[in-house]
């Protein structure tokens, strides 16, 4: 009997097949089985839509996070739902790739999320919950400062400390009075140039734009724009302005009425902050003559009074009327440029007098520039401490000044010392000297000396030669006195050529030059060249009375000469000495194969790390020991000294490559030996 048991269904087939039941019952049973197995297939298909795994969140920002998971085979898309931890309900979204950016989040908040897969056959269950916490780095910018371009061009530069998460920044500003409507702009850098108007108060704020959102705006701050084209005033009177200095920023001090310029000051970074600073400027009816009886100062005086004295860069501004008045009232001092003459040679002549109590110091400005728009001169200079009264002036005119008392001492073969009477006025400037052989036409520059010095050593002269020397004084590069009369003298004959030059230790690639000592020598110069050609001189020096010449070529004739170096002078060279290097190349006549039979032995052969060279010599002698490769190139070189009788030397060959080599022992006026060996 055939029976079928399926999930508890017991059917006796023979009873059905061979009973008198209507065959329609069989059809119904068949349909029942087909439906049952179709249901099994559908359930099996639904089980293939997997649940996402590998959940993680990166990157995470203040306002958004990117959640990721491992891709599921057969997925059409994914459903993601998330919420703040401990809250309901979920926010649901979807994604086709296996990641999703979640936006609109709250900074510094923990979130939980889960993901399910949507396949063609159905939807998986959600994954387990995973969490992430948003950051709190998208803050409003801090460290905000306001700078103004130099020269001013109606723009104010807002600068702040960069925020790490920032994609860009939003800046808004408006007139402080009113206030006016906001003007908004963005920038990718940590600064923004604003279009502003001179002498006006503005207020502003900055916000950071990060991935997914924007921070709060910074605290409302304000600034007053400077007088962009403030010019010096010319009316007699005194004006003042008090402002606050911060390290690293220029502050322009201008009178608020009419934007009358007083000074511009940069509080140098690295010094103490000057803090609240008052700049006062006064214009007199004409030049100041009572500050220092030796000088005449211009009619404009500027006083810098910071709360804390420190270093700074100063800009003072002078009108052409200041310079014109100065030129008309200083008969003994240099004039300043006339109206707009930027090519005038007098431009470098302006100086600044700094007065602190009874102390007066003198400043050479970095530069002076003409403003052709508003017709004034800007003068720029630095000071380690800015608190002082400042005046302008020019240097005394040096025309007609002559230095007296010039004389020479300590005369040697190549040097002498010049001496003179120091000038008492002016109290700045410098001296310059010149000299030449008495038979020459052109003068030689002897250098300069500070005005506080009355002596100078000059070197580089030729021994046993008549010379003359002169001196003059400089108030500036554009104002100098006249040259003094010449003082004549003759240098000593102290730098002598070596008496002779001889050669020794002549080998294939080296030789030694020798000479007797010369009086007055500091060192010696040796030069040599090939006789054929002749070749170019090769020059070297020696602190002793000999020098070994290296890098020579075998079987070659050379010329050698030696000179004496004294203080700044080289004597004439010796007469040329010639010598010829011996042959050293394997296979040359001097190294015939038959010479290897005279007791010269190399062992072991082949060798791996060292060789022992043995031979018999009839007297002690010096040899050059050379090793050549198969191309005849020297790959090892040494000097050895033999004794009468049997000799033995060890040679390290560990650094040589494997192959065939030739070793030779070359003696000066002695037989030479040669043999081959194998390096294994």
Q: What is the pLDDT, as a whole number, of residue 615?
A: 77
Coil, helix or strand at residue 558: strand
Query: How long is the chain?
Result: 680
Q: List C-alpha distances in Å: 268 to 273, 280, 349.
A: 8, 20, 26
The answer, yes or no, to whether residue 153 has pLDDT greater than 60, is: no
**C-alpha 416 chain-centroid distance:** 42
Tokens of 366: 């970095």
Tokens of 573: 């060279």
Per-residue pLDDT tens digits for 370-403: 888 778 888 999 999 999 999 988 877 676 788 9
Rounded (5°) CA angle 232-236-242: 55
Mean pLDDT of 344-367: 82
The answer, yes or no, to whether residue 521 has pLDDT greater than 50, is: yes
Neighbour count for residue 602 (Cβ, 10 Å): 20
Per-residue pLDDT tens digits for 218-263: 999 998 887 667 788 888 999 999 999 888 878 888 876 557 888 8
Lowest model confidence (mean pLDDT) among 21-30, 221-230, 329-338:
21-30
- Identify the CA nearest to 58 among candidates 166, 131, 127: 131
Mean pLDDT (the chain, rounded): 83
Q: What is the pLDDT, as a whole number, of residue 427?
A: 67
Residues 6+ apart with CB under 8 A from 117: 49, 50, 51, 52, 72, 75, 78, 123, 124
Highest mean pLDDT among 31-35, 382-386, 607-611, 668-672: 382-386
Residues 6+ apart with CB under 8 A from 339: 320, 375
* Cα–Cα distance, 154 to 200 (Å, whole number): 11
The answer, yes or no, to whether residue 670 has pLDDT greater than 90, is: no
pLDDT confidence bin for 557, thresholds 50/70/90: very high
Q: What is the pLDDT, as a whole number, of residue 495?
A: 77
Mean pLDDT of 9-20: 38
CA atoms within 13 A on the CB side of 295: 22
* Cα–Cα distance, 508 to 59 (Å, whole number): 74
Per-residue pLDDT tens digits for 587-624: 443 333 333 334 678 888 888 888 888 877 777 777 88
Question: 420-451 burial by CB neighbour count: b if 16+ within 10 A, else e?
Answer: beebeebebbbbbbbbbeeeeeeeeebeebeb
Mean pLDDT of 630-655: 81
Name the phi and psi angles at 481, rounded to 5.
-80, -170
Mean pLDDT of 17-27: 44
Tokens of 635: 């790959």
Coil, helix or strand at residue 37: helix
Q: What is the pLDDT, as a whole number, of residue 523?
A: 92
Q: What is the pLDDT, as a whole number, of residue 148?
A: 78
Q: What is the pLDDT, as a whole number, of residue 261?
A: 85
Mean pLDDT of 553-564: 93
Mean pLDDT of 322-328: 91
Answer with the residue of higher pLDDT: 178 or 111.
111
- Identify the CA nearest to 329 among candidates 295, 364, 378, 367: 295
Mean pLDDT of 332-359: 78
The answer, yes or no, to whether residue 669 has pLDDT greater than 60, is: no
Q: What is the pLDDT, as a whole number, of residue 347?
A: 57
Enclosing H/E stretch for 671: none
The answer, yes or no, to whether residue 101 has pLDDT greater than 70, is: yes
Of all residues in the chain, the percent with pLDDT exceeding 90 is: 47
Per-residue pLDDT tens digits for 445-498: 999 998 889 999 999 888 889 999 999 998 766 577 889 999 999 988 777 889
Residues 6+ apart with CB under 8 A from 156: 146, 147, 148, 193, 194, 196, 202, 223, 225
């Amino acid at each position: 009997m055939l029976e079928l048991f399926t999930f508890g269904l017991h059917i006796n087939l023979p009873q059905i097949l061979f009973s008198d039941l209507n065959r329609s019952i069989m059809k119904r049973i068949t349909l029942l089985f087909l439906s049952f197995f179709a249901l099994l297939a559908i359930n099996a298909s639904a089980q293939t839509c997997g649940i996402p795994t590998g959940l993680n969140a990166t990157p995470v920002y203040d306002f958004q996070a990117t959640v990721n998971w491992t891709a599921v085979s057969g997925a059409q898309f994914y459903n993601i739902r998330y919420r703040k931890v401990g809250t309901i309900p979920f926010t649901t979204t979807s994604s086709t790739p296996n990641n999703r950016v979640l936006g609109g989040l709250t900074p510094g908040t923990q979130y939980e999320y889960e993901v399910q897969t949507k396949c063609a056959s159905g939807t998986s269950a959600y994954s387990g919950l995973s969490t992430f916490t948003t950051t709190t780095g998208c803050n409003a910018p801090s460290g905000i400062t306001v700078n103004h371009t130099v020269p001013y061009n109606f723009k104010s530069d807002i600068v702040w400390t960069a925020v790490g998460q920032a994609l860009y920044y939003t800046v808004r500003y408006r007139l402080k009075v009113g206030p006016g409507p906001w003007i908004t702009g963005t920038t990718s850098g940590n600064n923004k140039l604003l279009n502003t108007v001179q002498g006006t108060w503005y207020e502003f704020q900055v916000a950071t734009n990060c991935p997914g959102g924007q921070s709060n705006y910074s605290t409302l701050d304000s600034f007053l724009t400077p007088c962009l084209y403030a010019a010096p005033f010319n009316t007699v009177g005194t004006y003042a302005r008090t402002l606050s200095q911060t390290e690293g920023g220029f502050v322009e001090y201008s009178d608020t009425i009419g934007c009358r310029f007083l000074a511009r000051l940069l509080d140098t970074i690295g010094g103490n902050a000057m803090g609240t600073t008052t700049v006062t400027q006064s214009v007199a009816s004409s030049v100041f003559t009572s500050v220092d009886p030796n000088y005449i100062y211009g009619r404009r005086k500027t006083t810098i009074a910071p709360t804390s004295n420190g270093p700074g860069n100063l800009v003072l501004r002078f009108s052409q009327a200041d310079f014109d008045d100065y030129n008309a009232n200083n008969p003994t001092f240099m004039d300043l440029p006339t109206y707009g003459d930027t090519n005038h040679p007098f431009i470098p002549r302006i100086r600044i007098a700094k007065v602190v109590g009874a102390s007066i110091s003198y400043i050479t400005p970095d530069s002076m520039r003409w403003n052709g728009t508003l017709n004034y001169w800007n003068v720029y200079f630095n000071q380690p401490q800015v608190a002082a009264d400042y005046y302008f002036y020019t240097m005394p005119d040096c025309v007609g000044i002559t230095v007296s008392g010039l004389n020479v001492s300590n005369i040697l073969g190549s040097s002498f010392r010049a001496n003179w009477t120091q000038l008492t006025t002016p109290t700045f400037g410098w001296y310059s000297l010149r000299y030449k052989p008495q038979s020459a036409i052109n003068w030689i520059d002897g250098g300069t000396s500070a005005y506080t010095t009355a002596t100078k050593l000059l070197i580089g002269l030729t021994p046993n030669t008549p010379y003359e020397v002169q001196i003059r004084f400089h108030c500036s590069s554009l104002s100098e006195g006249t040259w003094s009369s010449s003082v004549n003298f003759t240098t000593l004959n102290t730098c002598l050529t070596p008496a002779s030059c001889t050669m020794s230790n002549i080998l294939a690639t080296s030789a030694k030059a020798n000479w007797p000592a010369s009086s007055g020598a500091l060192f010696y110069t040796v030069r040599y060249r090939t006789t054929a050609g002749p070749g170019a001189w090769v020059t070297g020096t020696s602190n002793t009375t000999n020098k070994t010449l290296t890098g020579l070529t075998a079987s070659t004739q050379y010329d050698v000469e030696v000179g004496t170096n004294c203080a700044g002078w080289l004597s004439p060279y010796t007469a040329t000495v010639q010598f010829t290097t011996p042959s050293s190349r394997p296979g040359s006549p001097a190294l015939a194969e038959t010479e290897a039979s005279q007791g010269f032995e190399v062992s072991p052969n082949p060798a791996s790390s060292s060789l022992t060279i043995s031979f018999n010599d009839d007297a002690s002698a010096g040899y050059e020991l050379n090793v050549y490769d198969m191309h005849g190139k020297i790959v090892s070189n040494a000097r050895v000294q033999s004794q009468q009788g049997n000799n033995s030397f060890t040679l390290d060959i560990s650094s040589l490559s494997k192959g065939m080599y030739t070793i030779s022992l070359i003696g000066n006026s002695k037989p030479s030996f040669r043999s081959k060996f194998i390096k294994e």
